[in-house]
Each structure stands twice: as C-alpha cells, then as structure tokens.
Structure 1
Amino acid sequence: MFEEGDAPQLRTILLTDICDSTGLVEVLGDKGAAQLFREHDRLVMTLQQQWRGRLIDRSDGLLLLFERPIDGLGFAIDYARGLSEIGKLRSIDIKIRAGLHVGEVLTWRNSEESVRVGAKPIEVEGLAKPNAARLMSMARPGQILLSAVAEPLAHRAARELGERGQHLIWKSLGRWRFKGVPEPQEIFEVGEPGIAPLRAPPNSPKAWRAVPLWRRPAMLAAQLALVVAVGIGGWFVTRPAPAIAFGERDWVVVGDLRNLTGQTVLDESLEQAFRISLEQSRHVNVLSDLKTRDTLARMQLPADTVIDRDIASEIALRDGARAVILPTVAEVGGRVRISVEVIDPTSKITVHAESADGDGIDSTLSSIDNLTASLRGVLGEAISSVEKSSTPLPQVSTSSLDALRAYALGQKEYSQGDYEAALKWYGRAVEFDPEFALAWVGQMRAHYASANLPGALEPLRRAQQLEARLSSREKLYLAAWSAEFDQPEKAIEKWVELANLYPDFWPGLVNAATWLYADNRFKEAETYVRQSMHSQSDLSTLGYDDLGRTMLGQERYKEAASAFDQAIEKGVTSSLRRRADVAAARRNYDKAFESLAAASSDDPYPYFERIAVSLDRARWSEARDASEASERLTNGDTFTGIAFMAPRAVTDWLSDNPKQAHEKLETAIQLALEGSKNDGHAGSAKEHAGLALSAALISQRSGNRSLALRAVAGLEEREAMLKVRKLAELATVIRANELRLSGKADEALKLLDPMITGHELYQTRVALMEAHAAAGNVEAALEQSEWLAVRRGLAYIELGFGQSLQALNVADSNLTLLRRAEVLEAAGRLQEARSALQRFDQLWPVEALPSHLRARRSKLEVASSLGVV
C-alpha cells in the first residue's frame, strides 16, 4: 500500500478542518488546549489504523490518503464523532468540516535532512488535492462533502460501515462552479440525520451554485426590464424558486391533504388519488403510507399525527427523501382548486407550487392528473416518459370519490395488519364501483394475508377481468399474483420481472427474493433482499430475516447470525427459530435451544426446529416429545398439519418405529393428494403436491417403496403439477431411488445428473451419493458425501414444501458420514473408513443409536479394525 514513485497513483484524498480552532484555545487555555489536542492525536492514530489511512499533514486540519473512498468516509464519520465526544467532556461543541475526493496524485519522500529541519516526510501533489481542499473549505460546520467521483464508490460500499451505513443520508447538493475550474461539478453530502447539516453550503467567491442564466439575479433584472419595456406585464416575472436536487428514482413524502372545502368525501380520496397518479412514474418514488406511519412511531408520535410541512420534512430527512409534496383542495371563486407545493425538507422552503382549477368535485381527478404530470416534469422526468406512463385516474382507479375514500381507508387498515377491517373497506369500495380493479386486488391480498386462500380466489378473478383498469406497475403486480395461483412454475419469472422494472417497489423485491430462496437460488435472492432493505422500504426490518435466510443457504454463518440477531432486536420474533437454525448448523445446540426457548410455546412453527435439532444431536425422546407437542398445536387436515407429519414420521423411523412412521406417511400422502386436486388455486395445489412427494420420499427411505410409487403415480395424473421445477426434481429423486433399489444405478444417475444446477434440493444430492455408491463410483460418492456433511446451513434452511424435509435433511447431514464409512470399507480403504466412522461416532454415539443404525454399523466387513463394539 501507498508506494511512492514517479507515476501518478489513484488515491482517495481526505482534507478536514476543525472549525474555530482558535476559539477553542481561547476557551480552554493553553494547558487545556494542549490536553485536548493530545487526545485528538490519539484519536487520529486509532482511526488511521482502523481505516487504513496514511496521515500526510496535520495542523488544525488533516490531510490523509486512503486506498478506497469508503475508508476515507469511515474515518471522517468516526473522526467527527470522536471529536464531538471529546468536546462534550469539556462542555464545548467541536465540529469539523471535511472534503473527500478521488483522483491521481504524485507522492514522494523528502530527504532526511529536509525532515530534520521541519519538512513533512511525505509530499503529495496533484489536482485531487486542491479539489478536496475546495470541498472542505466550502463545507458548513459538521458537513462532509464528496465529489461526484467519490460519492458513487463510497455509496456502493456503504454496507461495509455496518448498520450505521444504512442510516446515512446521501444528498446531492447540485452542480457548483469553482474558481479557476471551467466546468461545473456536482457535489454530495453524506451524514446522519439530526447531526449533519444536510443542506447546501453558502455561495462564496471561490465556490458558487451553478444555476441557469435565466435564474441569476442580474439576468432576471434584465428580463424584467425587457418585459416592462414591451408591455407584457411586469407582474408575470416573479422571484425564482430555490433549486432542489432530485434524481431518477429519488423519493418524495406526500403530506396529508389539506381539505378546505368542508366536503369530507375528499379527505382520504384525493390523497389516495394523488398517490395512485404519482406512482405511475418510474422516475419518482413515493414513500408509502405504511413506511410514513412507521417513521412516525420511531419519532414517538401517534399514528394519526397530521403530516404537515414540519412533520413531513422530518420524515423526509429521516428516510432519505429528497422532496415533500403538500396537496391542498379548496373552493376558489366557485371552482374547485387542487394545488401542490414542493418543499425542500432541509430548509422547509417551498421550491415549487402550482394549481389546477375545475368545475365541481367531479373535476378533481382530472386536476390531479394534470398536476402530477407537471410535477414529474419539475422533478426531472422526461416529458416523453410522462406521456408514455400517464393514464387518467378514472381509468387506472375509479371515477367514484366515495370508492376512492373507502379504498384509502382499506389501505390504512391493511398497513396496520387489520385485514378484517381492510376487507370491509375494500368491499365497500367495490360496492361504489364494481369495476374498481385496485380494490379487488386489495381484497385478494387481504384474504391471502389472512391465510384464506379460497377467499382470495374470487377477487383475483375479478381483478383479472378488469386488468385494463390498472396502471403498468399494478398490471405486472397482478400478473405475478396470478402466476402464484394459476401457473406457479412461472411465478419466479413474473416477480423477478416486476422487481427489475420497478427496483424500488418493495412488494416486487420481497416476493422475488422469497420465490428465489424457496427455489434454493440464495445468491440471486440476496440481490433482491438487499435492494428491499433500503431505508424507504415499507418493512425494511423484515429484510434482516430474509437476508439471514439467504446467508445461511450459502453457508455464511456469521453473516446469517448477525442478520437474524438484528431482526430479533427489531422485533421480528419469527427470526428466533432461524437463529436456532444457524446455531444448530454449527452444532452449537445450547444456543439453538436458547433461541427456541424464547419463541412462543403456542406457535407451532418453531417445533420444526425443535424436532430437527433434537434429531441432530441423537436425542430421540426429545424429538418425540416435540413431535407430540406439534401434533397438539396443529390441525391434521390443514397444510401445516400435513407438513408436520413428515418430521414426525422421520422421528418414528429413526427411533425404531417404522410401522407408526408409515401410518403417518400414508395419512399425509392421502390428505396431500386430495389437496393437490384444488383446481381453483394451482399454487395451493402445488404446495400440497410437494407435501405428498416429501412424504413419499420418506416412505421410500424408511422401506415402504410401494407407498412412495403410489404417491408419484397419483401426481403423474396431474401433468401440470410436475412442470414446477422443484416438484419435478423431487419426483425425479423418488424415481431414481427406485431405479437404484432395483439394481439400475446407471439409469438412476442419468436421471439425477441433469438435476445438479447449483440450486438443487438437498435430497437430490443424497440420491446422487447413493446412486454413485451403488454404481461403484467411489470417488464420486465420497464427493457427494462431503458436500452433504458441509452444507448443513442448506439442510436447515431449505424452505421447500412447508419445511417438511428439514428433519430428513438434518439427519442425512450426519448419516452421510456412516454412508461414507461404508463406501470406503467396501473399497478396501480401511484407514479412511475408520476416520469417517470416528467422525460419525462423535455426532451420534454408538450407545445412542437405534437398532437399525446399530445393525448397519455392525455389518461393516472389517468391524473389528474399525472399532465397532
């Protein structure tokens, strides 16, 4: 790092300055100031090492070089915090200003003689240095400014700052001109809400805001004189609005509508209409009502707090929104006027205002359409884009204000989790307008969220019939939901399409991630999870749980644990069982049961983990107790009840009760096959088909091959079901196992090899290991055995088919070592077989083994040399 030489080197350069350092000396005195600067120097030395910086110069300020912008930014943030803490101990406010830039610099080392007489050891020169100096000198106290080169590099790596990196606000301060530099430069500020100024620096003789000629005061005066001279009404020329930096996909906060008409039907209806109209834009993102109310809670304000200029501005600063929009409706001269203000949240100044008048309240929707189209242009969206994606409100929502109001109230109830109340309002909306497609979509979502899948079907069908009454985004949203119900094999494709086209739309991102990690495509899912966790997300805290799942599926245990811990800290109690998965995958069983003990005993789902973890450590009686408890908490003919029959059967099989296991499995297969005939909801049918195949595989593994084949045959009659990739794969595993058991291992391998895609099922690898072993492919079988032993995170977190295969997966992560010993012994590699068996014995001791496993162990031909007792 940091080699000196003749060639220019690309470096990050940071310049800082302590504001009013002379005043500090006056306040503290020489002795006090000396003590302060000694603490300052210790802080700098610590941060240099932490952020890998090189100090080039220091006096009242610092000049440092870094390899990466994120390191320079991390130093600047910690330096500002550290100095602030030092100042608080002395009851003084110490602030710094900082400038960060990336560019080429030349460095060279001064001679020892020069250093002895006061020269710096290292010299740095190049244009990057004065550029950073300009940024630093123009910054306000407490402000960190970045160049347009440094900002995207630092922003992209912000996650390396940990959780605090997610709360930073990145703000464009527009384009600025610097003395002696011909082209304007865009500058950025990064800081923490409530600490950083987060507003543009003042103009100075050396740096000033670049604005169009027509907005400069001198040019305005000339224009005014010209207009007056030709008699076009000097009143037309007004003071220009302050600029607001707004880029593509930036966010706005929509404040509560001020209704000055006295007509209550306009209260919620016009605010909802305004949102629907503005949300057609792919340039402007609107902070959702759910997210707004969540931020109010963090501000310790009631959910019904009026979102006025001040509150909306604070919400915008907290959530990184660039603008606030305040709508108003009033009666003016017998006409209904809709007006909007665009507010700079930092200064709370109105930077743009306009209005549209109409005759009567029936004109309001048309007025809103006109205003939002104009606003999108003001916020930088291309006119062609506005024209292309703007559909009149009555066409994409409803012409009934009563229906809009009911829909808006339904949305509020839905966002608060009261799905029953939401359904009532959505129902009222379609009573007012039976062709209100969005209200039918709302009903479908509310039924689905209440786990009432049959109830979701009718509103889905009505919404499908009214698809033309939806905006482009909502059409894609409906198409993805339709795939879940009707063509589950296409659901991933539809959700990913929506997420890619609308990369800030939280429902699209979350559903894309969920379907991808359900398909074991954890790396792909991670991308969408991280996108969904931006500070403006509706439920960004849930993203930590999703992130933990994708990490565990990739065997990234430390990151998974951290993500689940953050989710738990933020109140996501379902993450307790996921945290147990991480601990158990690492064989930290005490930590796993500690997490499970914190979960509600009335919640059935943690019993999947209680059963699996007990089996993992060969505690058969504990597993049986957990199985019985889960049976008391679930209804046997529901999806969850059927799903629990699988781990219960695995428990019975492993603990020497195969007959009871087969009885459970036969019941599970019968119920699941019946559920798979649900013609109204292919998604539900698919999940039941998965349960049938899971139970069939366990039946096959535990010795009941005929039951397994009957289940597969029952599904083959429903050809569409086996078009779903995971169902087809699981059915292939069962067929391949049957071929192997019938002495046709090579044919089994031909079926299984195409299944190895990088996101195959854990059980596909088990089947592949057994097929290679049966075919005499020793090395290939050993390779699969090692894969199964290592991929314990996947064994625990694999989501498919209601988690019904988790217990079998976990058991196989241990049994694979016994199988490894058998393969090695058969190949005459006795020393390696002994080692594999020792590994197995450490996990499942001989004295704990059920009789059928003890029998397998005793059948090893070289039992005495392998240490069998």
Structure 2
Amino acid sequence: MSESLDTGLHWRHATAAGQPVLRTMVVCDLADSTALVERLGDRRAAALLRKHDRLTRALIDEHNGREIDKTDGYLLLFERPTQAVSFALAYQRGLRFMSEAEEVEVHARVGIHVGDVVMWENSPEDISRGAKPVEVEGLAKPVAARLAALARPQQILLSGVAASIARRGHEEIAEDCPEAEWRSHGLYRIRGVAEATEVFEVGEPGIADFTIPAQRSVARRILPWWRRPSTISGASLLIALIIGTSIWAIVRQPPTIDFSARDWVVVAATQNQTGQDNYDNTITAAIRMSLRQSRFVNVISAQQVAQTLKRMKKDASAPLDRKTGVEVALRDNASALIVPRLANNGHELVLSAEIVDSNTNKIVKTISTKIQSQSEIVPAIDDLTRSLRASLGESMAQIKSTSIPLAKVTTSNLDALRAYSLADQAAGRGDLNLSVDLLNHAISLDPKFASAYAAQASNYFATGNMTQARREIDKAMKFKQHLTPLELLKLKAMALTARSSRTAATAAWKMIADLYPDNAAGANNVGLNYAAELNDCDSALPYLQHAANLPQPLQPVSLYILASCQLALGHEDQAIQNFKRSYAEGFRGRFLALADAYVATRQYTKASTFLTNVPSDIDTIVSLSTRRALLVADQGDLSSAENNIRHALQTIPKPIYNSYGWSLRLEYIGILWAQGKEQDALDQTRHGLKQLLSIPVDKRDDNPYDFPVLVALFSRWAARLGDVQLAKQSIKIINTDKGLRGFPIRAQLVTVTQAEIALKEGDPEKAVRIATGADTHPLWELLEVIARAKAAAGDPGAAAAYKRVIAQRPLAFGELFENELGICTRAIQWNFAVLDYAKVLSKTDPSAASRQASIFLDYWRIAPSDLQAVITAKKLMQWSSSENLKSSRSLSDRP
C-alpha cells in the first residue's frame, strides 16, 4: 500500500514510542454480504468482491489511508478526518458506479470517529504466523464500528467530534466532492461511550438519502419527551398517564440498564473477604453455571475472558477485578459486569453481587442474600442468580421455567465444584492431563456429578481416545437428571458422535445450534461436521461464520475451519485472511492450512516463509513435513518431496508413527507412485494394510484417523498399483451397511476404491457407473477417478470431466476430512490431471492439447527432465505441431 513518506515516518514514530496518538478510524461494512453471495452464486460473488477490494484499496491509497484489518469490510486509519470523509464519499460513489456496471446492488455502511489510539508493529515472525503488520487499539475503534453498525446501507455516519473537525476542512472535501451535504441526526447513546454523542451524516445527493439511522442495540437515539411516541395530547389523558405512571413506578422499578434479550455479561472474580480460600473460584464458577440456564442472559465463559486478557497483554491468571472486568466486557461487547462478593457478618455470611453497566462503569444494582451455614451456600447462589436475571429484565415466567437448582444440575459439594472449575480453566489452557486429574477428583467427591463426567468425555474426545470417551458418556447418562436441558442435548450429541453415523450426529448438533444460537458448541460442531464429515462446506459456512463472531474461547478454531471451507469453495483471499486471524488469535499446533492456501494460489514464497517460522516439535512434525513436501511437489520436485516424507518417517517418535504417521505413509505411497516407483509403492501399501488390519477391533477407534477411511485409502492404492485381490479383501471388511450408512466420506472412498478395481480389471464403463452414482458433495478424489474412468472408456464427456477436476483445485487443497489427509498426493494428482486433459484433447484438438501440455510444464517448471510426465508433455507438444499427427497414437506412457 502506498503512503507519503512523511505519513509513514510519523506512523512508525508513534509505533516506536508506544504513545497514544490522535487518529481517525473508519469502518466500512458491506451490507448483506451473505445474501449477496447466495443471490449471485460463489463464483460471480467472488469476482465481484475482488473488484470491490481493488476499488477500496485504490481509494485508500489515493486518500493516504492505511488498511489495518479486513473481513467483510475494512478497518482503516487516517491522519485527518477530511481524508477519511473524502475517502468515504469516493467509496460510496465507487460502489454506485460498480453496482450499475455489474447490474447488482452493492451497498456499504461507513462509520467515522476521531480519538486517541495506540499503535504498534508486529515482528516479522508474528506476521509470518498470521498477525497483522500493524495493531491498533483504542476506544475510537469500537465507536467507529458502532457508528457503522448504526448506519443504513449507503450511509456515512460520523461522531460529533469527527464531523466538527472535518467540516472545518470542507473546502478540501469539496475539491473531491463539491455536492457533499451534512445532516445532524441528533444525540445518541452509543454503547461504550459515557456521554451522549451527536451523530452526523455526510453524503452526496442521489447516493445518500439522509434518512434517520435505524435503531440498534449498539446506539440508541435520545429524543426530547415531547417527540417521543408515548406522548399523548389532551389534559385528561395526560393526568391519567401521570397517575398510571405513578402506580407503575410503585409496583415496578424502571429499567436501570440498557440490557436486551440475549445480551452478554461477564462475571468477575468473587471478592472473597472471608479469609477462606476454598471459596476462591468456586462462587464465580457457580454463578456462571447458574446464569447459563437463562435463555435471556448470555454469559462470557472463563476461557473467553482469559483469551481477551491475553489480547489486552494482561495476566490471564490474575483474578478479574471490576476495572479490568469492564474493559473485558467492552471488548467482548458485553452489556454488564457481575461482581460477586462474599463477606463475614458476625456468625453468618453475606453473598452479594453488583451489576455494573459496562458502558458507563456505574453500579446500577446490588443484590445480597444471607447465609447461615455452609450447606446454604449453593441454594443462596440460586437465589442470587434468579434476582440477577430479574434485574437484567428477564420475566419471572422465563426464570421459573429455566431455573433448576444448582445442587440438582451440578453438585452440592463446594470442593467438587471448585475442582470442576479448575479443570475447566486447565482445559482452556490446553492442559488436558491436569483437567482429567481435577475432574477425577471432583467425581471422587461427588460420584453423581454428571457435568464432570461430560467434561471428562470432552477431554478424551480431544485426545482421540474414543473408547474412554464413550465410557464417560455412559457414566454421565446414568445421572442425566443432574444436567440442564442444554447440557443433556450436548451429551446426546456427543454420544451420537462417538457411536452413531455422522449424519445423525450432525443433525443433533444442528438442533442445538438452532435452539441455542448463542451457544457456540452447536454452531462449531454442526459447521465442523458439515465440512469434515459430510464434505458440504456450503451448508457449513453460515454456522461457522456465526460461531466465528460469537465471544467464545474456540473462536480461533471456528475461524480456522471457516477458512478451510472458504478455501475449498474457491474463496482463497477470504480463506487466507481468516487463517491469519485464526493464528493471530492464538491457534497453534499441527494445523497449518495457511500453507495449503498459499500453495493452492501458487504463492510459494509466502508458503515457504510461513513454514520456516513454524517450530518443529512433537505436535507439528507430521503436518510440517507434509506441507514441506506439498510445497515442492506442487512444483514438480518429487524427489525433494520424497526425501521430506522419508526423513519424517525415520525420525518421528514411535507413538507418533503409530498414530499420525499413517498420514505420512499414505503421502509416501503417492509420491513413490508419481515417480514411477510402483513396486516400492505397492510394498509400502501392502505393509500398511497388514498393520492396519492387525489392530484389535476394540482398539481401532483410538486412532486419530477414522479406521475405515484409512483402510479405504490404502485399499485404493492396492487396486491402482495392481494388487486387486488385496484391495477387494481389505475393502470387504469396511464395506457394510452399518459401516457406511450415514458416513458419506467413508462411502465415497469405498466407491473410489471400487472404481479403481474396475479400472484395473479392464472395465472402465463399470468404473464410470460406480463412481458417478456417488456424485453428491463429491470429494476431489471421486471427481478425479470419474474423469480417468470416462477417458479410459472413451466417453465423450471425458473432457468436461477433466475440466471439472481442474476447476476444483481449491477443493483438492481445502478438503477437511481427517485433517486434510492426503493433501500432498492430491496436489500431485491435480497436476497429472492437467496433463491427462491434454491427452484427451489430443484426439480432437491438437492445438488445444499442445497449450494444455505447455501449461503443465509451466506448473512443473522445476520437475526433472527425465520424469515420465515431463517427457509425455513434451511429446504431446511435438506431436501436435506435426502434420502427421495420428489420432490413434497411444499416449498412455505416464505413471
């Protein structure tokens, strides 16, 4: 992005100093972008959005702005409000012209605010891992965002201070837009700003209609009493209203906080003034768990609070006090902070809670209850949370219908509750071993603690120990009467995930997502299941987008899966941005799909830089070795790819070899095959299948990869490499109605294997019938075998089938099943498909075949000249230019 030298130096100086500087923040938000994609379709929408991005970035440069972040819209920084206003006017004008040219309405909302911000530049290492080059923090950012949210499509809204400064430079703005007009929309109460703010609009006649902004929860208009809709003229009615209002004030207190249904709250650490540390964490955790029963109040989880504190560069392990709690609430868009307190009062205890308005930092209500003995603490928490819910505006009918006593849905044992709370915190830090130990302790104190069993099952799910996860689920089910309705639904969904079909599990998580839209577990799991288990990223996308926007600790994971889906669907730019956001939010480990996105778009240098900065350890070694092989294999350097995989197989620890090592072994087979080393590849396949099938039946579910999927993939190679009998014997073990019904990925891979068997047996027509029968949400592997089978059968649709395979390069790199299993081999096969397409074209259009072969050689420019695929491509180019080219000439001499 171009900048003036002075501007760039000034920004860098501010960064180095780390001091607040006055800047203008601009938030541009595309209106109804999801509906736009649905209306236009993925490809046309992607093209339109790319044009939008080019327009926006050109205008940013023109007006000396700086891009800070981008999702559906942009977060921008300008030195002066006049620059920001000139940009916004030009942006809305550009969108109007683009809408007319594309014959589709594209609108945006723009918010502008001036204020102090703190800026710093991330290190090159952090940037290579996905962080933004420049970070900006300050109240100006959320205020600009809330003005954008308040705006209607095509509106540009400014805070009073931004408008005041910009209007002084109106002559400068008039140079770019002489027709610009200003309107005041009056005073608004903007969330996060203590004082009322005057909101202005600037726009061009014919583009902006200067309509009063719509009422939003982020900002509410302040009207004088005589303009309010409730005002009624007439003396008698006025008197009646006064009398009625007086009676109403007696029987019910007016609202004391701007809190709406499904707004969020943060629960601070309990101010324990009793001197007994066994109450630390316990009271806070219990209040949080009790409040979660509400369908009116949403609670920010402890794990999410910890993540927010880390982003604020604060100690996440320190107790959350009121001052920091308000900051966390503002960052996570929570309307209120609950501050519990436990104190001695003679021979009794007093449990109280303050409701703090996070926007004004004022206590709006304090609720308290007395406790005579320790046995009354848990019932007192029930009473307290019911009062909290009522004070936040929840009706008594709602409270009664969703208020099961804590002792019934958790435990009455405070020590067990404390262990459970600490286990939850340990799991949030990724310390699953400690979490397991703490939950075991909680269960030993209360053997009927169903929530603890359910949490233990989640831990075992995370480690891939499905056998133990099932045992914990069964234990939790014995005491299911001690679970809330939501927890019971989650447990049933987990049980289906562990024992039933993928379609049944997806339906269970979808019900949770639809019934409890603010609970991230439903949206996360239904999105993951659609993407990774059903290969249906179109259906996954809205759930993942919703989960990625919820204040929840797994937001980085949601972003990662969302990005993988976007990559599979061909939205590569969005995928790269969301992969970076995921890493910037702290997502780490073996999940390195940003490299896949870079390789898919042939940004090999960026992929190499990213992988160079990934530490090689026990968590990353398999994925890192695979991506290093992918990087060179997609360019034709198969020898280096083989060396990468072989070295990893020889050096990884035995426990990793016997678990995640299956991925490397499959890649090794594919790379050997691609180089014509078919006997070596077959030997590896036979050895792998022998080891797989020797795993005891009761241990097959404890592998991180799905056992039937592994058998199908190895069997596919057995068939393709010539051992049809082994392929048939192996596939028979998993080709059962129980094993495949409701498991679309398994079923498709079995179909691919059956098609490979038919091809090897010389019956391509049968292979076509088998493969095309499964063409619903197809894996890339299925598309590839359909094309090969049609070509072998002389089917006139072979060319179209290969065009489809080649067009689905994003799917080859974005498939999520079994954590991108087989991605390196898919990249190699995709390049071979480019060459195979040239062979098909050579029979009818030699010139087109020559061009296609040339494309293949360009893609594989670093491939050795003696590689059979390269030799074949060069022959195709030579033969196509020869006058004696014969259509019957065989070109089947490639691996």
Please report the TM-score for the alignment, with normalisation by the length of structure 2: 0.73
* Structure 2 unaligned residues grouped into runs of 5+: 1-78, 97-104, 120-139, 156-173, 202-209, 232-240, 886-890
Residue 553 of structure 2 is aligned to residue 514 of structure 1? no
Task: Select 2:404's aligned residue among 377, 382, 391.
Answer: 391
Q: Which residue of 1 aligns with 2:658?
A: 638
Kindly provide the CA deviation profile for residues 292-334 of structure 1, in whole angstroms up to 9, marking residues without a partner as x. 1222333333234332322222221222110111223345464
Task: Select 2:628's aligned residue among 607, 610, 615.
Answer: 610
Instruction: Provide the rounded CA distance (Å) in 2 between the counterparts of 1:373 and 1:626.
Output: 60
Offset, 1:741:
4.1
* Contact map agreement 2:518 2:550 (CA 8 A) in 1: no
Q: Which amino acid aligns with 2:469?
A: A
Offset, 1:390:
2.0
Residue 68 of structure 2 is aligned to residue 50 of structure 1? no
Instruction: Provide the rounded CA distance (Å) in 2 between the counterparts of 1:660 and 1:386.
Output: 68
Q: Are the structure 2 counterparts of residues 448 and 764 from structure 1 closer, same or farther at C-alpha, using a change threshold of 3 Å?
A: same
* Contact map agreement 1:365 1:399 (CA 8 A) in 2: yes
Residue 737 of structure 2 is aligned to residue 739 of structure 1? no
Task: Select 1:648's aligned residue among 650, 668, 672.
Answer: 668
Kindly provide the CA deviation profile for residues 352-381 of structure 1, in whole angstroms up to 9, marking residues without a partner as x. 232334542212222222222232233233
**Pairs within 5 Å for 1:682-697:** 684=703, 687-697=706-716
Offset, 1:587:
2.2
* Contact map agreement 2:467 2:702 (CA 8 A) in 1: no
Task: Select 1:171's aligned residue among 196, 218, 227.
Answer: 218
**Pairs within 5 Å for 1:113-262:** 132-133=185-186, 135=188, 140=195, 144=199, 150=213, 171-173=218-220, 176-178=222-224, 180-183=226-229, 219=246, 243-262=256-275
Offset, 1:424:
1.8
Kindly provide the CA deviation profile for residues 656-689 of structure 1, in whole angstroms up to 9, marking residues without a partner as x. 22111112112222333345x6447758597021
Q: Which residue of 2 aligns with 1:265?
A: 278
Offset, 1:254:
0.7
Instruction: Provide the rounded CA distance (Å) in 2 between the counterparts of 1:279 and 1:48.
Output: 45
Offset, 1:450:
4.0
Residue 822 of structure 2 is aligned to residue 801 of structure 1? no
**Pairs within 5 Å for 1:433-582:** 433-489=446-502, 490-518=504-532, 519-534=534-549, 536-574=551-589, 577-582=592-597
Offset, 1:287:
1.0
Q: Which residue of 1 aligns with 2:434?
A: 421
Q: Which residue of 2 aligns with 1:819?
A: 836
**Pairs within 5 Å for 1:286-435:** 286-332=299-345, 334-435=347-448
Task: Select 1:593's aligned residue among 584, 605, 608.
Answer: 608
Residue 116 of structure 2 is aligned to residue 71 of structure 1? no
What SS class does the counterpart of residue 338 from structure 2 fall into? Answer: strand
Q: Which amino acid aligns with 1:370?
A: D
Instruction: Provide the rounded CA distance (Å) in 2 between the counterparts of 1:619 and 1:327.
Output: 62
Residue 854 of structure 2 is aligned to residue 838 of structure 1? yes
* Contact map agreement 1:488 1:686 (CA 8 A) in 2: no
Q: Which amino acid aligns with 1:771?
A: A
Task: Select 1:783's aligned residue among 793, 797, 800.
Answer: 800
Instruction: Provide the rounded CA distance (Å) in 2 between the counterparts of 1:103 and 1:405.
Output: 49
Q: Which amino acid aligns with 2:857?
A: D
* Contact map agreement 2:410 2:482 (CA 8 A) in 1: yes
Q: Are the structure 2 counterparts of residues 775 and 861 from structure 1 closer, same or farther at C-alpha, using a change threshold of 3 Å?
A: farther
What SS class does the counterpart of residue 821 from structure 2 fall into? Answer: coil
Instruction: Provide the rounded CA distance (Å) in 1 between the counterparts of 2:498 and 2:714.
Output: 23
Kindly indicate whether structure 1 or structure 2 has the higher relative contact order, using CA contacts under 8 Å at least 6 residues apart.
2
Question: What is the aligned-residue RMSD (CA, Å)?
Answer: 4.1
* Contact map agreement 1:358 1:364 (CA 8 A) in 2: yes
* Contact map agreement 2:857 2:873 (CA 8 A) in 1: no
Q: Which amino acid aligns with 1:651?
A: I
Offset, 1:250:
0.9
Instruction: Provide the rounded CA distance (Å) in 2 between the counterparts of 1:841 and 1:638.
Output: 38
Using the aligned pairs only, state the percent identity.
24
What SS class does the counterpart of residue 351 from structure 2 fall into? Answer: strand
What SS class does the counterpart of residue 755 from structure 1 fall into? Answer: coil
Q: Which residue of 2 aligns with 1:189?
A: none
Q: Are the structure 2 counterparts of residues 54 and 179 from structure 1 closer, same or farther at C-alpha, using a change threshold of 3 Å?
A: farther
Instruction: Provide the rounded CA distance (Å) in 1 between the counterparts of 2:708 and 2:95.
Output: 62
Instruction: Provide the rounded CA distance (Å) in 1 between the counterparts of 2:558 and 2:378.
Output: 36
Instruction: Provide the rounded CA distance (Å) in 2 between the counterparts of 1:265 and 1:43.
Output: 54
Instruction: Provide the rounded CA distance (Å) in 2 between the counterparts of 1:865 and 1:263.
Output: 89
Q: Are the structure 2 counterparts of residues 846 and 292 from structure 1 closer, same or farther at C-alpha, using a change threshold of 3 Å?
A: closer
Q: Which residue of 1 aligns with 2:46?
A: none
Task: Select 1:663's aligned residue among 680, 683, 692.
Answer: 683
Kindly provide the CA deviation profile for residues 464-513 of structure 1, in whole angstroms up to 9, marking residues without a partner as x. 32222211111122222222221142222222222222222233332332
Q: Are the structure 2 counterparts of residues 864 and 347 from structure 1 closer, same or farther at C-alpha, using a change threshold of 3 Å?
A: closer
Offset, 1:443:
2.1
Instruction: Provide the rounded CA distance (Å) in 2 between the counterparts of 1:561 and 1:597.
Output: 17
Kindly provide the CA deviation profile for residues 605-640 of structure 1, in whole angstroms up to 9, marking residues without a partner as x. 111222223222111220111111220225376231
What SS class does the counterpart of residue 776 from structure 1 fall into? Answer: coil
Offset, 1:731:
0.6
Q: Which residue of 2 aligns with 1:13?
A: none
Task: Select 1:711's aligned residue among 697, 706, 730.
Answer: 730
Q: Are the structure 2 counterparts of residues 464 and 98 from structure 1 closer, same or farther at C-alpha, using a change threshold of 3 Å?
A: closer
Please report the TM-score for the alignment, with normalisation by the length of structure 1: 0.75
Instruction: Provide the rounded CA distance (Å) in 2 between the counterparts of 1:454 and 1:756.
Output: 33
Q: Which amino acid aligns with 1:604?
A: V
Q: Which residue of 2 aligns with 1:11?
A: none
* Contact map agreement 2:509 2:526 (CA 8 A) in 1: yes
Kindly provide the CA deviation profile for residues 565-622 of structure 1, in whole angstroms up to 9, marking residues without a partner as x. 3334444345883222122112232332222222223322111222223222111220
Instruction: Provide the rounded CA distance (Å) in 2 between the counterparts of 1:458 and 1:556.
Output: 41
Kindly provide the CA deviation profile for residues 536-585 of structure 1, in whole angstroms up to 9, marking residues without a partner as x. 22143344323321221111121222222333444434588322212211
* Contact map agreement 1:583 1:591 (CA 8 A) in 2: yes
Instruction: Provide the rounded CA distance (Å) in 2 between the counterparts of 1:517 and 1:54.
Output: 33
Offset, 1:184:
5.9
Instruction: Provide the rounded CA distance (Å) in 2 between the counterparts of 1:666 and 1:340.
Output: 66
Q: Which amino acid aligns with 2:383?
A: N
Larger Rg: 1
Offset, 1:730:
0.9
* Contact map agreement 1:487 1:683 (CA 8 A) in 2: no
* Contact map agreement 1:326 1:341 (CA 8 A) in 2: yes
Offset, 1:53:
9.1
Instruction: Provide the rounded CA distance (Å) in 2 between the counterparts of 1:427 and 1:375.
Output: 32
Q: Are the structure 2 counterparts of residues 41 and 581 from structure 1 closer, same or farther at C-alpha, using a change threshold of 3 Å?
A: closer
Instruction: Provide the rounded CA distance (Å) in 1 between the counterparts of 2:186 and 2:565.
Output: 43
Instruction: Provide the rounded CA distance (Å) in 2 between the counterparts of 1:39 and 1:339.
Output: 48
